[in-house]
Structure 1
C-alpha cells in the first residue's frame, strides 16, 4: 500500500463552497479508478476552527501502477491547471485495518504526522506506531485506519476515517466530502512492515 496526499491551502476568505461543488461534480470520476484502494476527498476550513482553508485529498493505493497512472493523467492535471502543481507527499504503508464502522459512509477524517527522533531506532518507532495504529483502528466509529512511514524524512502518518465527527481525536481534523473506494477490498489488511 502506498499513501499519497497533496494539500492545497487557500486564502483565508476563500469561498470553500467552490471546493464542495468541485468534489460534488468531479468526485465520482475516480469511483472506478484502477489500482485505487480509496481516495478521501478531504477539506478543512477556518470557519470550523481550522488554522487554514485547505483541500487535501488523501489516497491509499492498492498498486503503485494506479498511483503513477493518476499522477500522469487528466485528473491530477486538472488540479495543476486550477491550483498550480502541489507537492505530492507519499508514504509507504505499514498497516491498514477496517474499523468497527467499516460499513458506514465516513463524515470526518483525522491525520497525525509525527517525526521520528534522530536518536530513536526506526524499528522501535515503527513497532510503537503499529501498536498505536491497532488501538486507533478498533476505536468506536472508525471506518478505516492506516499508518505509514516516509523514510526520507523519518515521519510517521496516522490516518483514520470516522463515521461521525472524530471524538477527541488528536491531529488535523477534516470533513470527508466524498469517498472513492473502487479497490478498497484489495488493500492488504494488517501489518505490512
Structure 2
C-alpha cells in the first residue's frame, strides 16, 4: 500500500518533487513506518519480489531443456503473473525507473539481484563454480533481452502484451532455443 501511494505520487509530482514525508502522509503512516519497510527513497520504486517469482517458475521448468529456454520461459511466465490484474502499477514503476536518473543505476542493481536469484533457483544444477558461471552468463543474456522488451513496453505505454513481447525478443535473440509467442 505504501509503495502504491509512492509510485502514484512520483508519477503525479515527479520523483524529485516528492518526499518520503509526502508518501507517509498519503499512505496514512508515519515516515518511520515508511523507512521501516523501505530503507531508501529509491526502494519505494524498486523493491519487489520478482526474484523469488522467477526462481519459482524456473524450478518448474524441465531440466533437459537449454538453459536460456528455461530462464526465458521463467521470465515470460513471471511477466504473465505480474501483469494479470495489474492496474498499471508495474508500468508506472518501470517508466519511473527508466526516466529517473537516480533510479536507473539502482535498477541495474535489481538486475544483478535477479540474475543471482536465477542462479540460486537452479540449485544443484549451479552448485559448482563452472556451472554457476554458465548459469550466470545465460541469466545475464536473458535479462538483457528482457530489459530491451521492457523498455519497448514502457515506451509504448504498456499497449503491447508484455509476456508476448518478452517471448518475441527471446526468440529473436536465441532463435530455436526459445519458442515463439502464441
For the criterion TM > 0.5, the same-fold answer is no
Q: Which has the higher strand share?
A: 1
Larger Rg: 2
Q: Structure 1 length as normaliser, TM-score? A: 0.26
Q: Which has the higher helix share?
A: 2
Q: Structure 2 length as normaliser, TM-score? A: 0.27
